[in-house]
Amino acid sequence: MGNVLTATRIFDGERFLTGHAVVVEGVRVTALLPLDQAPPPVRALDGTLVPAFLDLQVNGGGGVLVSGETGVADLERVCAAHRALGSAGVLPTLITDTPEATARVIAAGVAAARAGVPGFLGLHLEGPHLDPRRKGAHDPALIRPMDAADLDRLCRAARDLPALMVTLAPEAATSEQIHALSQAGAIVSLGHSDCPYDTALAAFRAGARCATHLFNAMSQLGHRSPGLVGAVLTGTCAAGLIADGVHVHPAAMALALAARPEGIFLVTDCMAFAGTDLTEMTLHGRQVLRRDGRLTLADGTLAGADLTLPDAVARLVRTLGISEARALRMASAIPAALIGRAGDYGAIRPGTRAEMLLLDRDMRVTERLGF
């Protein structure tokens, strides 16, 4: 990558600029200044230069599913697959599994962080402390309440990893446990929960500050029982959204985005299929099928998404009429802030990492720069 870049437009994380240039030294942006003040030589790019995307929920990629057998090389392969698709950084995600499997993945994550695996931002542990009534594709035989050993394991992981997101249901963890996790540095996210509205509010007061794949696998919004969806839409927590048009109807997405002008971010919830032509895989002994943009178990239960973040951004703009700036922030600045990496990602400004995407008029990635 050249040291000085200009483009048809540059999105700095807040606004679109024309007639500007980005100066890069090493892995960092050192200046964003008017083009006539930029030192030569300047590399001119045709398209819109934007901050690279971050995905906080990826169950796999490149043919690898995050599991109890995952090692550092597997995490590296998952991260590499998503970097090729436009996400500079990801949280590899382990869904509900045994305590032993969870411990092995945490150990692999700590080792990956120490090794500086490109794109590895930490881990997302989705379960096993969920509500079996909202299990989705999770194995109900492995779902269980949190105990003292689980809490200790997760608190240590939160201290040892760059970032740790833990999806849990408040039915399966006490307020004291949620508070302890939050104090240890974990991002507690409510999901796979059938909890009522007041229980969700209590969990947020205890320290939870996110919700996992909004609308999916959670108590829905009713006019007398607002559920977890209602708690998210009337609150201030962050919330991931799978914008593939399959998991959430466009009308429901529009309502959520109108109710919450800030805080909702994009995730793919993708599986090992990401970055491959695979059509089938196995999840805890069950077959997952890839057909017509959907990933399902044999009984039709959704099992992750067949989605990339650039596709999700483009869908929000084209289908819902969301502004380009907001859609881009939902894939970059908002997730970066949630995991405490706003100084590195989500913007093009002095000090941020020089990891950027070049998008064409249809918001397709034409070039990755710096990663």
Residues taking part in catalysis: 269
Phi, psi of 67 (to 5 degrees): -150, -175
Instruction: Reduce the secondary structure of 267-321 to three states and give it as a string.
Output: CCCECCCCCCCCCEEEECCEEEEEECCEEEECCCCEEEECCCHHHHHHHHHHHHC
Total residue length of the chain: 371
Phi, psi of 286 (to 5 degrees): -110, 140
Closest CA to 365 of 319, 312, 292, 326: 312
Q: What angle do CA 86, 91, 92 make, to 5 degrees?
A: 100
> Are 48 and 359 spatial neighbours (Cβ–Cβ below 8 Å)?
yes
Question: Among positive and negative, which fits the CA dihedral 208, 210, 211, 212?
Answer: negative
Closest CA to 326 of 277, 278, 271, 266: 266
Cα–Cα distance measured from residue 310 to residue 74, given in angstroms and rounded to the nearest whole number = 23
DSSP 3-state of 75: helix
**DSSP-assigned states of every residue in 103-136:** HHHHHHHHHHHHHT-TTB--EEEE-SSS-GGG-T
